[in-house]
Amino acid sequence: MITITTVSQLEQYRDSLDGTIGFVPTMGALHEGHFSLVRRSIANNDHTVVSIFVNPTQFGPTEDLETYPRDIARDAAQLEKLGVECLFAPISPSEIYPLGRERGPFVDVKLGWATEGLEARTRPGFFKGVATVVTKLLLLVRPGTAYFGQKDWQQLAVVRALCEGLFLRVKIESVETAREPNGLALSSRNSYLEPSARSAASDIYKGLLKAAKCATLGMKKEYLFEQIEQSWQQRLTSGQFQIDYLELCTPELKPIDTVHSNCVVLCAVYVNGVRLIDNILITA
């Protein structure tokens, strides 16, 4: 596997390739969720490029930029075992932001509530940072297909709109959320959880599953959310869980008040102070 740390090296490598290129952008601290994306890319493309870059512009001033888990040596070894051809891991943010983090072009996707609610409500500026770094990486790698996980449903909507609106001509393929055996959605931030909290966090998905099983066409979202909160009641009462948001939307992230034949429940929950997101598609 080739490990590349500069933009000029990446451009030279890209220009040397023949055939299709699949791309998996990540922030490192890789887990099975990332590896499922990588395997999909390898299976469907002649070449696969993975990036590891902890993007500073998508972190707020009180968020965990400095403490975000990093283990580039481990990640590189795992990717090599999977058969990845190229890892792009810029050492300095200046490779991606040559004019600095406060100057230069930035990309701000406007989708109404879909970019103002949910994650954006709690993390202002988050999607501007995501859209900017994804645009830069896609322009650098020029893949035919880029792969993203469905756990970040709102991010998927933003990236798809980004590619359509800027004519980037990249297919965005989503891959089902990878989970631990107890149902907890895999996330790099799970490493912040103590073992007991990690076990408790599996109740997030159990609540979503309960809602999906009881959902019927026309059911009010308030009743649906009651089912979820009942399954979390012990965690909520003890203060172990704190709900940031719980929303019912169409797959395109239009908020709705009743269950449709195809809709999604999205949530963000603090578990012992660690913020985790998850979602479930409901086909009532």
The proportion of the chain whose per-residue pLDDT surpasses 70, expressed as a percent, equals 100
- How high is the mean pLDDT of the chain? 95
Q: Is residue 25 scored above 80 in pLDDT?
A: yes
pLDDT in tens, 150-180: 999 999 999 999 999 999 999 999 999 999 9
Quick one: pLDDT at residue 101? 86
* Fold annotation for 188-282: Pantoate--beta-alanine Ligase; Chain: A,domain 2 (3.30.1300)
Q: What is the pTM of this model?
A: 0.94
d(CA 47, CA 87): 11
| Least trusted range by pLDDT, from 38-47, 58-67, 244-253, 262-271 | 58-67
Quick one: pLDDT at residue 122? 87
Q: Is residue 284 scored above 80 in pLDDT?
A: no
The phi, psi pair for 128, rounded to 5°, reads -65, -45
Q: Is 119:126 a contact under the CB 8 Å cutoff?
A: yes
pLDDT category, 114, cuts 50, 70, 90? confident
Residues designated catalytic = 34
Quick one: pLDDT at residue 161? 94
| Least trusted range by pLDDT, from 61-70, 111-120, 125-134, 189-198 | 61-70
One-letter amino acid identity for 165? G
d(CA 74, CA 48): 19
d(CA 48, CA 63): 31
SS3 24: strand
Quick one: pLDDT at residue 80? 97
Q: Is residue 283 scored above 80 in pLDDT?
A: yes
Report the alpha-carbon angle 29-35-10, nearest 5: 75
Quick one: pLDDT at residue 234? 94
- Domain boundaries of the chain, sorted by first residue: 2-175, 188-282
- Tell me which CATH code domain 2-175 carries: 3.40.50.620
Tokens of 249: 């939307």
The candidate with the shortest Cα–Cα distance to 244, out of 202, 222, 276, is 276
Segment 103-111 mean pLDDT: 91
Quick one: pLDDT at residue 60? 84
91-127 burial: b if 16+ Cβ within 10 Å, else e: eebebbbeeeeeeeebbebebeebbebbbbeebeebb
Q: Is residue 124 scored above 80 in pLDDT?
A: yes
d(CA 168, CA 135): 8
Segment 272-282 mean pLDDT: 96
Quick one: pLDDT at residue 67? 83
d(CA 97, CA 136): 9
The candidate with the shortest Cα–Cα distance to 22, out of 51, 1, 42, is 42
Quick one: pLDDT at residue 141? 98
pLDDT in tens, 29-41: 999 999 999 999 9
Quick one: pLDDT at residue 87? 98
